[in-house]
Amino acid sequence: MKRSVLATVILALLTTLPAHAASCAWSARMEEDEGGSVLMASACGGAKGDAHLMLACFGKPVLSYDPGAAGGQLEPGISADFTFKAGGQSLTKKLDLEAMYNYFTLELSGPADPLLALLRGKGEVMISADKYGETRFTLTGSSGAIGKVLARCGKGSPNDAD
C-alpha cells in the first residue's frame, strides 16, 4: 500500500513539474499598462514561479525584473547591481526600483544591447544581487518573444501592436 501511494505522489510531481516549467517559458503578448496596451515579452521564474522578467519597448527596450517573494520589502528610490549569467557569460547592470509597479527596471541601449543577446540564448539565466539572492529563469522561447518586442521598437505607438 505504501509503495503505491509513494508511486502516485512521484507520478503527480513528475506530471506537474513540466507543466509549471512550460508555463514559465517566454511568451510575447499584449498587456495593459497605464498608457494602454503594450507588447510585452515575459517569463516567470524562481522556485515558486513568482518572479518575473519582462521586456517592453517605450522608444527603447526596457527590462523589468520582479524578484517575487525573494525581493522582500522594497523601499522606493532604491537601486541595486544585478548580475545576469547565461551561456558562460556574465553581465552586471544597475537596476532602479520603479515605485509604481515595484519592479526593478533598466532602459537598454537598443536592440543590440549585450544583455538582450544574453537573454536570447539557450538554457537558463540566473539573476543575482547581494541583497536579493538569486533567481533562475528559463530561456525557452526567449529569442522569439524578445524578437517580437524588438520588431515593434520605434515603429509607431504601442497601441498599434498586433
Mean pLDDT, the chain, as a whole number? Answer: 81
- Residue at 139: amino acid letter: L
Which range among 17-21, 35-39, 125-129 shows the weakest confidence by mean pLDDT? Answer: 17-21
Task: Give the separation between CA 58 and CA 74, rounded to whole angstroms.
Answer: 24
Q: What is the pLDDT of residue 150?
A: 95
Q: How many residues would you count in the chain?
A: 162
Closest listed residue to residue 31, CA positions, set 68, 56, 59: 56
Residue 150, all three cell numbers: 524588438
* CATH class given for the domain over 25-160: mainly beta
Domain boundaries, the chain: 25-160
Q: Phi/psi of residue 145, each to 5°? A: -65, -45
Reported as a pLDDT band with limits 50, 70 and 90, residue 50 is very high
Closest listed residue to residue 136, CA positions, set 80, 85, 88, 62: 85
Q: Of the ranges 3-17, 112-126, 146-160, which is most confident?
A: 112-126
**Which pairing describes strands 60-66 and 103-107: parallel, antiparallel, or unpaired?**
antiparallel
Q: What is the pLDDT of residue 155?
A: 64
Reported as a pLDDT band with limits 50, 70 and 90, residue 52 is very high
pLDDT at 51 over 80: yes
